[in-house]
Copies of this chain bind each other. A is one copy, B any other.
Amino acid sequence: MVKYRDGEKMLDALGLPLRRSMVRRLWHGGAMSLSKLAAPYELTLPAALKHLRVLEDSGIVKSHKRGRVRVCIYNPSALKELGGWLASHSAFWESSFDRFEAIINKKKKN
């Protein structure tokens, strides 16, 4: 089961057009190596790896090493769950609101 914390991470991850495009590539083209994933963009491998890590950390993408190749795979269930939450706009917004407000209030001087 995914938690609302992952919802936040997913929204952060999807906040960049480039990363959304990478997700689409994986969703469209199936599993592929990091190099192949990065190929259409004017990106060095380190940059592509950084973005992959953000996507992986959010749960939208999975990856594993097969020899010297990093195989990247789209994880449909992650966005399906995020979508479910947004559609019903319930648990996700409620709980993360409280967390965020707590931080903000601590920061303010009153």
Contact = CB atoms under 8 A, between A and B. Distances in A.
The DSSP consensus for interface residues of chain A is helix
Interface of A: 8, 11-12, 14-17, 20-21, 23-25, 27-28, 40-42, 76, 79-80, 82-89, 93, 96-97, 100-101, 104-105, 107-108
13 contacts: A14-B15, A20-B96, A24-B97, A27-B93, A40-B108, A41-B104, A42-B108, A79-B86, A79-B89, A82-B86, A83-B86, A83-B87, A86-B86
Nearest to A21: B100
A85 B100 CA distance: 26
B79 A83 contact: no
